[in-house]
Amino acid sequence: MIAIWVVALLCVAGFAAAIVWLNWAMKRSSSKFYTPKGVHVAGAIASMIVAIVIAVGSLYWLYGTAPGQRELKSFASETRGGLTRVVKVYDLQGDVIATYEGKFDIQTESSKVFFDMPQADGTTKRVQIYNATVVVEEK
């Protein structure tokens, strides 16, 4: 999820740097003591092309690959307070022993699943499930 923010910041920084560099190169006067204006313009254009390649590559990864789609789903879940889900907990015989439904974000550890279940009074209740079969379905 952090990859989305890092790539977005890199693209914005690359575009901003290229625009500032190009603006500075166009305003400066040529002199025999300085690098020619054309070199700076070429550098600014090259940095703009790199920023475009990073942006297009990132968009392709996010929208054109399965890992990118999972990353977008995780991002949506973490920034919007979770996804609407149904959690069913089963015992060893396959009988449902608990069902939870609502909008929440789920976290897992080695033998534990936990989430904060919103209550009617506006508070949340932490639900922790140890050593059970848990099926999570998104609505």
Per-residue pLDDT of the chain (139 residues; tens, 9 = 90+): 566 677 778 778 888 888 887 777 777 665 565 667 777 778 778 888 888 888 888 888 888 889 888 888 888 888 887 889 999 999 888 999 999 998 888 888 888 999 998 888 988 899 999 988 999 998 8
Residue 48 near residue 41, CB atoms below 8 Å: no
Three-point CA angle 135, 76, 126, nearest 5°: 50
Phi and psi, residue 122, nearest 5°:
95, -5
Cβ-based burial of 102 (10 A; exposed 0-12, middle 13-18, buried ≥19): middle
The residue type of 34 is Y
**What pLDDT score does 114 carry?**
92
Q: What is the pLDDT of residue 136?
A: 92
SS3 content of the chain, % helix, strand, coil (to 5): 50, 30, 20
Beta strands in the chain (DSSP E): 83-90, 96-104, 106-108, 112-118, 124-130, 133-138
Element holding 57 (H helix, E strand):
helix 37-64
